[in-house]
Chains A and B, each alone.
Chain A
Amino acid sequence: MVDREKLYQAILTGDAKSARALTEEALKESVDPKELLDKTLIPAMDEVGRLFETNEYFVPELLISARAMKSALELIKPLLAEKGAEPAGRVAIGTVKGDLHDIGKNLVAAMLEGGGFEVVDLGVDVSPEAFVTAAKDKGASIIALSALLTTTMPAMKKVVAALEEAGIRERVKVMIGGAPITQRYADEIGADGYSDNASGAVALARSLAAKVPAAA
């Protein structure tokens, strides 16, 4: 019987090799992949997020854990798909038009993946139309926008407007973040949520995913 605590620790310490091996072992023992994900892997990543939020972990440690999580997820995802289980949500993430900063966006993307989300990374300098296309063609139910410059913040509003114009605003949730962004700005442009850090973004995405209309 695989030691779940060892798997939990492998994620926590970013030991990708052990995380994969222990996941493989658990699956061979017919452990339910959804149960393994929900009861061991996601709680481990939540603890990583907590350690980061309390300033015990730095980003490199967080990323190493996210990679260990990814190596375990690579084994679990196909099995979940076979059973018709959906990921925690599908997020299209990008830095808005005119802005080239991607460090924060990459960090949030890694944490979302680690949190069980399927992430479509659109890159930097992303046009409103590209976000709309991701929502339409790739089935993203959450759009995550990043901006570092005050001068590119207005591009976030344009994305919200483009989603409205495309007639899909009701079925898509918009979350925003970046150094100059505030909750007030999120409210002002009609975004559904704001987070000032990467692990907070995962919690936000979970709460938004729960609010996405079932038809989406």
Chain B
Amino acid sequence: MPVSQPTIPRLEEFLFGHARCPVTCGNHLEIGAGTVIPEVNFTLQAIEICPENWADIREQYSLMIEDLCRRAVELEVPGILFEFETLPPMTVNPAWGLEITEILSETIDRFHQSHGLRAALRLTPNDTRDHRRPPRMRSGPFWEGMVEFLHKAPHAGADLLAIESTGGKEVSDEGLMNADLKKVVFALGVLAPRDMEYLWGEILSACEGTDTVPSGDTACGFANTAMVLADRNMLPKVFAAVIRVASVPRDLVAYRVGARGPSKDCAYEGPYLKALAGVPISMEGRTAACAHLSHVGNIAQAVCDCWSNESVQKVRLLSADAPTVSLEQLAYDCRLMNVAGQSREDARKLRDWLVESDSALDPQAYVLRPDVVLRIASEIAREPTPYLQTRRAARAALREINRAFEEGRLRIPDRERRWLERLAKEAEELPDREEDLIAECLPETSRETFLPEEYGLS
């Protein structure tokens, strides 16, 4: 999988539905080969995951997938991806998560056989290593439970395997709360890549010899945390925008070692992954308002290959249960994209409308502009290591944001402007050598929350 240079050289070719390296999975489902498909994620209402409630939980999942498959057939979707993101107790106790996986997989297969539904199941276990501070990244019961889950997942019916890995999150969290760019770059550019190489070795080994596709990883615990905090006015949006772009190199590690996509829906940095690794991407925007709010509702859709809802609870709405409602909204968006996609000119027009409707209003949207993505991706590709890529990504994002603001193409509130200057200074002060960054950061981190040896550092 090429990651050392952009696979999409020209803006004209950067379109929804088309990826350089399409993926085939599940029941003859092609992703990124010209058609955009919905990806639906669904979850339970508030309920304790325990043996007493287990029969009810099984039934809830069974009802949800049955309804979703039936409606997908009625809507004649060209294909569909279902995502089952386990709840933490279902990874800690792999038998639970695998049992639900089997229920979902069997239902999807039944609808394929009876109605020809082209579908696949993406399984995303939790990275439970984050359960303890300081986290043990390569040993202990959480690691062992997760590894067991990963290795059994293909046999339970997972067509795609993904994860939201958390290596470095224990340091990033503190960095985010203090808007400490150096610390977040240390987490994203030094710790996360080291952890991902190790973790993804395990995921690839679980998929080896099976039909399960190792799909992708996401910086959800990093960039989405920043995005949600910014949305609640807790962090500057310019900072969240920089963190979004700075998270790209850590995601790329998964594709460098063998993940094939589609990227996870909550990886809003997806366009960069599509540009650099050539993988199809799943994205979520306004359709994910059921899970969290954002300022990238339209622009997130601009170059997607799967269009997702992030997650929706099984609550009853006037028309149907919320997951089915969510599917319907996604399916109609996909219909529109696929009609526009019949002509490259129309596809570009729709893409550009999605982009222009958001990009001037928020720096987090601006850094997702396809033209900006291609410029910054070219810069990232020129750097040889994840750390230097991360540093370059942060600096380039700040430069793009500053320039757009100065030229009147991006609105930034007064109270955020002082942060642009501060962040630019911090980005310029990042050292040239990774060893120097490590030497600076280790004394500034607490051993109560972070153990360097878990990342091969000491």
Q: Spell out A's residues near B (CB within 8 Å).
A: 55-56, 58-60, 63-64, 98, 100, 102-103, 106-107, 123-125, 149-151, 153-155, 180
CB contacts under 8 Å to A, within B276-323, are: 313
Are B49 and A151 within 8 A (Cβ)? yes
Are A153 and B46 within 8 A (Cβ)? yes
Are A107 and B48 within 8 A (Cβ)? no
We find that the number of chain B residues with CB closer than 8 angstroms to chain A is: 29
Shortest CB–CB separation between residue A180 and chain B, in angstroms? Answer: 8
Shortest CB–CB separation between residue A152 and chain B, in angstroms? Answer: 8
Are A100 and B177 within 8 A (Cβ)? no
Judged by a CB distance under 8 angstroms, whether B258 is at the interface is no
Complex Cα spacing A120 to B17, Å:
52
Q: What A residues does B173 contact at CB under 8 A?
A: 102-103
Shortest CB–CB separation between residue B269 and chain A, in angstroms? Answer: 20
Stretch at the interface among B1-9, B229-237, B391-399: B229-237
- With contacts A98-B89, A103-B173, A154-B47 taken as known, whether A58 is within 8 angstroms of B234 at the C-beta atoms is yes
Complex Cα spacing A107 to B178, Å:
11
Complex Cα spacing A199 to B249, Å:
36
Contact string, B23-64, partner A, CB cutoff 8 A, digits 1/0?
A: 000000000000000000001111111000000000000000
Q: Spell out B's residues near A (CB within 8 Å).
A: 43-49, 87-89, 130-133, 173, 176-180, 225, 229, 233-236, 313, 415, 419
Complex Cα spacing A75 to B225, Å:
35
> Could you list some 15 contacts between A and B, CB below 8 A?
A55-B233, A58-B236, A59-B177, A59-B179, A60-B177, A63-B178, A98-B88, A100-B88, A103-B177, A103-B225, A150-B45, A150-B46, A151-B46, A151-B49, A155-B48
Shortest CB–CB separation between residue A165 and chain B, in angstroms? Answer: 17
Task: Other than A123-B133, A150-B44, give 5 A-B pairs with Cβ distance below 8 A.
Answer: A55-B233, A59-B235, A98-B88, A150-B313, A151-B49
Shortest CB–CB separation between residue A174 and chain B, in angstroms? Answer: 18
Among A60, A64, A106, A150, max chain B CB count under 10 A is at A60
Of B133, B235, B415, which one neighbours A60 at CB under 8 angstroms? B235
Of A56, A64, A107, A149, which one neighbours B415 at CB under 8 angstroms? A56
- With contacts A55-B233, A98-B89, A100-B88 taken as known, whether A63 is within 8 angstroms of B177 at the C-beta atoms is yes
Are A125 and B131 within 8 A (Cβ)? yes
Q: What B residues does A98 contact at CB under 8 A?
A: 48-49, 88-89
- With contacts A100-B88, A103-B173 taken as known, whether A151 is within 8 angstroms of B131 at the C-beta atoms is no
Query: Residue of A at shortest CB range from B415?
Result: A56
Among B46, B49, B89, B133, max chain A CB count under 10 A is at B46
Complex Cα spacing A125 to B142, Å:
14
Query: Residue of B at shortest CB range from A158?
Result: B48
Q: What A residues does B234 contact at CB under 8 A?
A: 58-59, 107
Are A151 and B133 within 8 A (Cβ)? no
